[in-house]
Amino acid sequence: MEQSSECMKHFHRERQRQQEFGFTNWGGKRRGAGRKPKGERAGVSHAKRPKLCARHPVSVTLRLRAGLPTLRADDSHELIQRAFERASEAGHLRVIEYSVQSNHVHFIAESRDERSLARGMKGLTVRIARGLNRLWRRIGRVFSDRYHARVLETPRAVRNALVYVLQNARKHGAWRARRPDTYSSGPSFGGWKASAEPAVISADSRPGFLGRARSWLLSIGWRRHGLIDVREAPVGAVWP
C-alpha cells in the first residue's frame, strides 16, 4: 500500500510539473500536428471525397505548382484539350465546359460516381503532367496538390459554376474582350444570351474533344435561371 501511495504521489508531481511547462495532454491530437499546407495556400483537404451520382455534374479545379510557365499559351492549351479528349474516351469522366488560366484549370464534368471520377482524374492529371513536362523540357511534379471537386446539385449551383468557369479569365483580369475567352470552351458554348454584337456567336456544334451534357441539370435545368450574358462575370471580375 505504501509503495502504491508513493507511486500516486510521483504521478501527481510529474503531472503538475508538465502542466507548468504547458504539456497538458496525454496523447490525442496535438495542436498544429499533421500534414502542413504546401505553398502559399492551404492544400486541398484529404478528407473523403463527397458522394457523386450521374445526375449531378461536378466542378473541378487543378492548380499548378508555383514557378511554372503560363498555361494560357496555344501549345499548352492544345495539350490540355487533347488530354480532355483522351479522358472522355476512357469513359470515366466527360469534360463538358472548361477554362484555362495562367496557373490553374477549371472544368465542369459528368461522371457515374466518385470512384469513376477519381479514376478519370488520375488518368487526366498524369497525361497533362507528362505532356507539360515534355513541352517545358523539365522533370518533376506539375500540380501543387490534389484536385478540388465540388458536386453541383441544383440548377442555380450549375449556372453559377458555368459563369465562374467560362468567365474566370475576367475574374483575373486576363480577358477583357466582349466575346468569349478563347482559352475556354466559351466560343462553342450554346447557353449565351442572344446579342446584337457580331463578336458573340452561339456555336451550333461542339469541338470533338468536348462531350455534350447528358444530365438534366447541365443540359436543361440551369437555364431556368436565365441564359448567360457574355458580359456577365464572377464577383470580383475586372471590366474595361
For 187, what's the count of Cα atoms within 13 Å in the CB-facing half-sphere? 7
pLDDT of residue 239: 46
This prediction has a pTM of 0.77
pLDDT of residue 12: 56
Q: Counting Cβ atoms within 10 Å, is residue 65 exposed (0-12), middle (13-18) or buried (19+)?
A: middle
> Would residue 174 count as lying in a domain?
yes
Look up residue 184 and give its amino acid.
Answer: S
> Would residue 109 count as lying in a domain?
yes
pLDDT of residue 197: 52
d(CA 232, CA 202): 16
* Residue ranges making up the domain that contains 158: 58-225
Domain count, the chain: 1
Q: Work out the angle at residue 51's Cα, subtended by the Cα atoms of residues 150 and 104, and round it to the nearest 5 degrees.
A: 25
> Would residue 124 count as lying in a domain?
yes
pLDDT of residue 207: 82
d(CA 170, CA 176): 6
> Would residue 96 count as lying in a domain?
yes
Tell me the H-state helices in 31-154: 74-90, 114-136
> Would residue 9 count as lying in a domain?
no
d(CA 28, CA 66): 35
pLDDT of residue 23: 37
pLDDT of residue 71: 98
pLDDT of residue 14: 56
| Closest CA relative to residue 159, chosen from 88, 237, 57 | 57
CATH number of the CATH domain containing 92: 3.30.70.1290
| Closest CA relative to residue 192, chosen from 178, 209, 207, 175 | 178
pLDDT of residue 50: 73
pLDDT of residue 145: 87
- Identify the segments of the chain with pLDDT beneath 50: 3, 17-34, 36-40, 42, 45-46, 196, 198-199, 201-203, 239-240
Whether the CB-CB separation of 86 and 122 falls below 8 Å is answered with no
> Would residue 237 count as lying in a domain?
no
> Would residue 169 count as lying in a domain?
yes
Helix (H) or strand (E) holding 161: helix 155-166
> Would residue 7 count as lying in a domain?
no
d(CA 213, CA 229): 20
List, as one string, the DSSP characters of 170-204. Answer: HHTTS--SSS--TTBSGGG-S-BPP-S-TT----S
